[in-house]
């Protein structure tokens, strides 16, 4: 029977150990996943405290009580930090710091007042509930997918059960003046079971969040240009089709631009400067166009922008704005700053117009702008370039 009890008591630690190693392996596989390293540390740090609480009478061994508190605070600190890193939010320093200060003060008071294990238990359990609520708030504020709602609800449920446990113990007639009395009560195995279950549930929920994040990253890699981060041609055409359908019956605007004399940038300054110039140009396009606009790199130094629900005048004004913004762009290089200019071609697409045909017309307008002196905007309707001229260009 003692062996059976020991096995039962070690179930929780085994779960903590497994979850810690799972997150650690995730970090070893991808060293950029710092959130996984912090979550791994949270499980490992909590492991010692979990074992000590269930197997050691901390009232008789104050050193273990101190070690348990260190495990408690460090484990929960790493949990909040890991969750904040995972969802891209700042660590709630003030809320966490105040919680630690209040709990630490209550524990000191309980120890100084003698047999007040119930107060220590309530303080530590309350702190745990507050940490769960912090994690819930972090995930909820950053929610971008359904799995985020599930993760937030898991933390909320854990906090609710922890607070309910405090209430039940206070309402019970059990004398919780010492740790040993608590260990031998029915509340101890119940608490252990709940903590073990939620250790698994929270771990699975966070792994699900990781899975969604990785899938989204893979999707972004499949849909974006690796250098500039803009949409690639295939993803661009799919999103433009959806944008045009949503904008109908209003027309959409098409702008194609080509950086002037870009070959000189590579020849005179090297490809590293050329790559930085393309990145800076792409960032400018995203920054200087509406949030609804779709930008892509067609290839080389040629880019394309599609605008939703615009007329000819709005399209021309947007292209002119971009041309002037490019003129003001300064790229830091050795010995000074590099300036760029670009030539623009634009046209309007009615809902029934063919995108590829319109792109040929806008590209012809770019050719005309370069022919007229570069750093200009030309509308497709004003060009007389033929398909043969476009090929020659």
Q: What is the CA radius of gyration of the chain?
A: 31
Type and span of the H or E element at 109: helix 93-112
What's the CA gap between 169 and 81, in Å, rounded? 30
What's the CA gap between 20 and 51, in Å, rounded? 15
In total, the chain counts a number of residues equal to 393
Q: Which of these, 15, 8, 5, 6, lies nearest to 196 by C-alpha position? A: 15
Name the residue with tokens 């704005």.
321
DSSP-based three-state secondary structure for 308: strand
- Active-site position among 286, 301, 327, 379: 301
Residue 72 has a CB neighbour count (10 Å cut-off) of: 23
Instruction: Extract the tokens encoding 389.
Output: 């001229």
Instruction: Extract the tokens encoding 9.
Output: 């008591």
Type and span of the H or E element at 196: helix 187-223
Cβ 277 vs Cβ 259: under 8 Å: yes
Instruction: Extract the tokens encoding 195.
Output: 């903590």
Type and span of the H or E element at 263: helix 262-269
What's the CA gap between 311 and 295, in Å, rounded? 18
DSSP-based three-state secondary structure for 259: strand
Cβ 361 vs Cβ 383: under 8 Å: yes
What's the CA gap between 72 and 81, in Å, rounded? 14
Instruction: Extract the tokens encoding 113.
Output: 């007042």
Cβ 257 vs Cβ 322: under 8 Å: yes
301 is catalytic: yes
Instruction: Extract the tokens encoding 246.
Output: 């949503």
For the annotated catalytic residues, the residue numbers are 301
């Amino acid at each position: 029977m003692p062996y059976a009890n020991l096995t039962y008591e070690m179930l929780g630690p085994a779960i903590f150990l497994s979850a810690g190693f799972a997150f650690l392996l995730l970090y070893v596989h991808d060293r950029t996943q710092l959130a996984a390293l912090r979550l791994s540390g949270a499980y490992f740090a909590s492991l010692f405290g979990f074992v000590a609480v269930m197997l050691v009478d901390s009232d008789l061994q104050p050193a273990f009580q101190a070690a348990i508190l260190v495990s408690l605070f460090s484990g929960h600190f790493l949990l909040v930090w890991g969750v904040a890193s995972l969802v891209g939010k700042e660590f709630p320093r003030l809320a966490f710091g105040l919680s630690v200060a209040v709990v630490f003060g209550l524990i000191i008071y309980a120890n100084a007042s003698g047999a007040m294990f119930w107060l220590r238990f309530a303080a530590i359990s309350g702190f745990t509930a507050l940490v769960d609520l912090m994690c819930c708030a972090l995930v909820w504020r950053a929610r971008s997918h359904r799995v985020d709602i599930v993760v937030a609800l898991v933390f909320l449920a854990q906090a609710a059960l922890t607070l309910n446990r405090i209430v039940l113990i206070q309402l019970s007639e059990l004398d919780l003046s010492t740790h040993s009395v608590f260990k031998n009560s029915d509340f101890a195995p119940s608490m252990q079971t709940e903590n073990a279950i939620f250790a698994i549930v929270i771990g699975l929920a966070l792994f699900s969040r990781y899975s969604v994040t990785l899938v989204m990253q893979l999707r972004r890699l499949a849909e974006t240009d690796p250098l500039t981060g803009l949409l690639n041609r295939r993803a661009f055409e799919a999103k433009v089709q959806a944008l045009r359908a949503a904008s109908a019956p209003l027309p959409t605007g098409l702008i194609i631009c080509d950086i002037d004399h870009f070959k000189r940038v590579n020849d005179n300054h090297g490809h590293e400067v050329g790559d930085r110039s393309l990145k800076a140009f792409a960032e400018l396009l995203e920054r200087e166009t509406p949030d609804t606009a779709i930008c892509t790199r067609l290839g080389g130094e040629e880019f394309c922008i599609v605008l939703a629900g615009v007329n000819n005048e709005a399209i021309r004004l947007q292209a002119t704005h971009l041309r002037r913004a490019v003129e003001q762009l300064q790229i830091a290089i050795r010995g000074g700053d590099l300036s760029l200019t670009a030539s623009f071609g634009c046209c309007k697409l009615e809902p029934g117009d063919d995108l590829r045909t319109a792109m040929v017309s806008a590209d012809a307008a770019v050719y005309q702008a370069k022919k007229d002196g570069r750093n200009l905007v030309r509308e497709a309707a004003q060009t007389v370039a033929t398909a043969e001229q476009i090929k020659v260009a």
